Amino acid sequence: MLQYLNRCPFTVSVAIMRFTPGCPDGGDWTKEGWWNIPPNGSKIPYGGDLDDVNAWWCDFIMGGGQVWPGSGFIRALTLREFSWCEWTASTDSFDADMFLFNVDDNEDQIFEIVP
User: Rg for the chain (alpha carbons), in Å?
Assistant: 13
* CA-wise closest residue to 45 among 102, 107, 110: 110
Task: Tell me the whole-structure pTM to 2 decimals.
Answer: 0.95
pLDDT-derived band at 106 (thresholds 50, 70, 90) equals confident
- In three-state secondary structure terms, 62 is strand
Per residue in 69-80, pLDDT (tens digit) is 999 999 999 999
Whether the pLDDT of residue 26 is over 90: the answer is no
Q: What is the pLDDT of residue 21?
A: 94
pLDDT above 90 covers what percent of the chain? Answer: 92
DSSP H/E element including 52: helix 50-53
Half-sphere exposure of 107 (CA within 13 A, CB side): 3
CA distance 83 to 19: 13
Domain boundaries, given as residue ranges, for the chain: 2-105
